[in-house]
Amino acid sequence: MDAVRVNGIRKSFVTLERMGLIRRRRAIITALSDLSFRIRWGEAYGLLGPNGAGKSTAVKILSTLLLPDAGSAEVNGFDVVRQAKEVRKSIGLVLYPDKGFYARLSGFENLVYFGRLYGLSKKDAEHRALELLKRLDLIDAANRSFEEYSLGIRVRLSIARALIHDPPIIYLDEPTIGLDPLSSRSVRNLLIELKRSGKAILLTSHNLWEVEEICDLIGIINKGRIIMEGKPSDIKSKLGLKYVVEVDIDTPSGSKLIRIETKEPVAELRRLLSTGDKVLGVTVKEPTLEEAFMAAVKDERAG
């Protein structure tokens, strides 16, 4: 059984479109159009796409916060519409890092409160809260009120809240927004540990390097549907992106840098190294996930 299975989800919203100064007309916005993907246990799945592509709408449907217009989705074996209560017990959600907390309670008190809502005993909730505060480097802020926290602390506390009941499936919508580099690294390490323990993770992020480090599979979403899916390396290969091979060689007049763009870096390296020249250094630069993302969206728009 997959941790998450999404089959042909569709979702549209009705809005009013302004026409001139006073007049408005009814318009339908399609947020999701035949969205399908799955997440296996012990896997992190990255959902990437431009603003308005449908990422947050997908997360909200899988969290039971929105109802789909068509299609189906199962989370931990439970249908998101017919078994919403069981779905909520199975997930941890990071959606709005500064929402839903009690401003005058401390971070520790907030976590204990949410642990109790999930059915933990007072003792277990306190133990779990302290464990997460330590893991996310929040011990120094544990007893300060939430309203005093910076955005970075609030983001980390929202991750702790999502994990308070030790859910098997975790959704994170832009989890490291507002974090400094050290805190971001701590969060990435935590997510990698969680997936290694068997948990399933759905991650959306504009930090493509972060997604590449964490995620096993990536789905690029545009106009409400997946336009490309696979491992980061497979997506780069499908799009025919080029590697940059740099070889620094020793010549009678001094060192000379040879720089070549190629789809076959191994073959190109062998050719360069077989010339008999003395090699001072070799660098191979892999195409980035950002390049793959831009190429995939550009191809979709062109099509």
DSSP-assigned letters across all residues of 58-104? HHHHHTTSS--SEEEEEETTEETTTTHHHHHHHEEEES-TTSSS-TT
Q: Label residues 248-271 b or e (16+ Cβ within 10 Å = b).
A: ebeeeeeeeeeeeeeeebeebbee
Q: Of 100-104, 183-187, 208-212, which has the strongest mean pLDDT?
A: 100-104
pLDDT at 97 over 80: no
Listed by start position, the domains of the chain span 4-237, 239-302
* CATH no., domain 4-237: 3.40.50.300
What number is the average pLDDT over the span 251-269?
82
Tell me what pLDDT residue 157 has: 94
Q: What's the chain's average pLDDT?
A: 88
Share of the chain above pLDDT 90, in %: 49
Residue 65 — very low, low, confident or very high, per pLDDT cuts 50/70/90? very high
pLDDT of residue 256: 85
- pTM, two decimals, is 0.81
pLDDT value at position 303?
A: 56
pLDDT band at 134 (very low <50, low <70, confident <90, very high): very high
- Once rounded to an integer, what is the mean pLDDT over residues 198-211? 87
pLDDT in tens, 221-235: 888 889 889 998 888
Please check the confidence at residue 285 and state whether its pLDDT lies above 60: yes
For range 51-74, the mean pLDDT: 92
